[in-house]
Amino acid sequence: MIITDVRTVLLTGPCTNDPFLCETRKLRSAAFIKIHTDTELIGLGETYAGYFIPEAVPSIVDFFKPVLLNQELDDVDELWRRMHHCGNFWCRVGLGLSVLNGIEAALWDLKGKLEGRPVHSLLGGTKHSRIPAYATGGSSNYPLEKLSRKIDHYLGLGFRAFKIGAGSYSVDDGFQIEHSPDAAAEFEVKKLEHIRRNVGNEIGVMMDAHMGNAPTGQWDLDTATSVLRALEPFNLEFFEEPLHYTDPWGYSDLCKNTAVPVAGGECLTGTSEWRTFIDMDCFDIGQPDGSFSGGLSRVCEIAEMLEERGRTIATHAWGAGGSLMQNVHVAFACPNTKVIEVPPDFGPLHREIVGDSFQMRDGFVLEPDTPGLGIHLTDEIKNRFPFKPGSGEFNSVPGKNLAEMDTRLSR
């Protein structure tokens, strides 16, 4: 089987069917890479870069395309190595490597289809029969009574664990978060007291400060330490991104000074960048993304580095359906996977792309058995959700207001 073409497909569609997440984000963009062959088989992968800067993806895919043309599929890692070396000066970390991740995923999907095997079996074989899942809930919709309805919604979908954001969000006031140590700790304690009264102690609760991509400024180490220490009595599974990724020293100190497990890594790309954070013991739980971190094989390498230091992983997944299944497959291939992030209440760019390949029962994701990644992108899907320029997500600043962009594109 010979590779004959490499193409990019950009889409824009509803972000989710979750009525609470829809308050903050109504649309999502997505970037898929299709690898054609001299057979009827086509490989399909997604890069999470398509959620943020989809317009940049096609040019980068076209840059790598000649490396793959007329090649056989014997060694996916060797093809990845050639592309990575070709873009060495600008692709060691960051956007280039994230796009390369989507190309590599399409190669694994193609190889799985060719051999009639799910991708996790190509990555060393499954290490789990099932893995706990949690509903990723974005911001904390306020007031507290509304937050309770949001949590009930996720539990009603079959989840036994969920994640919510630090601070609060309301339609009238937007996103709000305290930044002083005492005020931030007091706010989050009141929230967790309310949550635990409502769900008890058997439900898994995670929190996310989103400081890797904070829209209203980052916490410093004193604030993060104050918050996490105050939340120690509430049995959190982990607290995600309490600091910005420009502060690995702060992450390292924070892990040493709180009993709450610290999670992070969704913004990191490449094993070298991850190595810096791992060697400094910045995370109790790493969160590589199989559509962003650099490749499915790279996620397995990152997981192995974390395992060597006694750490676990919780795969990050907030792309579309390809991103979800790429993370499911690497999660099953890595022995130290603790939990899988799942976007709840799928929108069409999840549901119609994954079909029946994603299965969850009693709060656990089941081992996928479809050859390849189990994702499909039909002409009908492409025609229903044509790409709208400007639909990528960004932090609002003067001149680029995300809320205004979402409103304009939704018309």
Based on the fold, state whether residues 56 and 194 are members of the same structural domain: no
Based on the fold, state whether residues 279 and 217 are members of the same structural domain: yes
The DSSP result for 12-42, as a single string, is EEES-S-TTGGGT--EEEEEEEEEEESSS-E
Based on the fold, state whether residues 171 and 62 are members of the same structural domain: no
| DSSP 8-state symbol, 82 | H
pTM comes to: 0.96
Based on the fold, state whether residues 196 and 176 are members of the same structural domain: yes
Q: pLDDT by residue (tens digit) across 134-177?
A: 999 999 999 999 999 999 999 999 999 999 999 999 999 999 99
Q: pLDDT by residue (tens digit) across 177-230?
A: 999 999 999 999 999 999 999 999 999 999 999 998 877 789 999 999 999 999
402 pLDDT more than 90 = no
Let me know if residue 372 belongs to a domain.
Answer: no
Let me know if residue 371 belongs to a domain.
Answer: no
Q: Which two tokens stand for residue 14?
A: 């509803």
Let me know if residue 148 belongs to a domain.
Answer: yes
Based on the fold, state whether residues 391 and 252 are members of the same structural domain: no
Let me know if residue 12 belongs to a domain.
Answer: yes
Return the pLDDT at 358.
98
Based on the fold, state whether residues 91 and 145 are members of the same structural domain: no
- What are the C-alpha distances in Å from 97 to residues 93, 227, 269? 6, 34, 7
Return the pLDDT at 241.
97
What percent of the chain shows pLDDT beyond 90?
94
Q: Work out the average pLDDT over 349-372.
A: 97
The answer to whether 260 touches 283, Cβ cutoff 8 Å, is no
Q: Which residue has the higher pLDDT, 408 or 163?
A: 163
Based on the fold, state whether residues 337 and 211 are members of the same structural domain: yes
- Report the number of distinct structural domains present in the chain: 2
Let me know if residue 331 belongs to a domain.
Answer: yes
Let me know if residue 189 belongs to a domain.
Answer: yes
The DSSP result for 327-394, as a single string, is HHHHHHH-TTEEEEEE-SS--HHHHHHHTTS--EETTEEEPP-SSBT-----HHHHHHSB--TT-S--
- What are the C-alpha distances in Å from 166 to residues 6, 23, 140, 278? 41, 16, 7, 25
Based on the fold, state whether residues 341 and 204 are members of the same structural domain: yes
- Domain harbouring 50, CATH code: 3.30.390.10
How sure is the predictor about 374, in pLDDT bands with cuts at 50, 70 and 90?
Answer: very high
Given the structure tokens 């939990």, which residue do they identify? 339
How sure is the predictor about 398, in pLDDT bands with cuts at 50, 70 and 90?
Answer: confident
Given the structure tokens 């099932």, which residue do they identify? 130
How sure is the predictor about 323, in pLDDT bands with cuts at 50, 70 and 90?
Answer: very high
The answer to whether 310 touches 285, Cβ cutoff 8 Å, is no
Based on the fold, state whether residues 92 and 133 are members of the same structural domain: no
3-state helix, strand, coil in the chain (%, to 5): 40, 20, 35
Q: Which two tokens stand for residue 43?
A: 């490989």
Q: Work out the average pLDDT over 234-239.
A: 98
Report the phi/psi class of residue 44: left, alpha or beta, with left for phi > 0 and alpha for psi in -120 to 50. Answer: beta
Return the pLDDT at 411.
63
Based on the fold, state whether residues 62 and 197 are members of the same structural domain: no
Let me know if residue 226 belongs to a domain.
Answer: yes
The DSSP result for 140-208, as a single string, is -BSSHHHHHHHHHHHHHTT-SEEEEESSEEETTTEEE---SHHHHHHHHHHHHHHHHHHH-SSSEEEEE
What percent of the chain shows pLDDT beyond 70?
99
Q: pLDDT by residue (tens digit) across 4-63?
A: 999 999 999 999 999 999 999 999 999 999 999 999 999 999 999 999 999 999 999 999
Return the pLDDT at 201.
94
Based on the fold, state whether residues 136 and 231 are members of the same structural domain: yes
- Domain harbouring 255, CATH code: 3.20.20.120
Peptide linkage before 215 cis (omega within 30 of 0) = no
Average pLDDT, the chain: 96
Let me know if residue 266 belongs to a domain.
Answer: yes
The answer to whether 203 touches 162, Cβ cutoff 8 Å, is yes
In which domain, by residue range, is 255 found? 121-366
Based on the fold, state whether residues 179 and 300 are members of the same structural domain: yes
Q: Work out the average pLDDT over 260-274.
A: 97
Q: Whole-angstrom Cα distance, residue 387 to residue 383?
A: 9
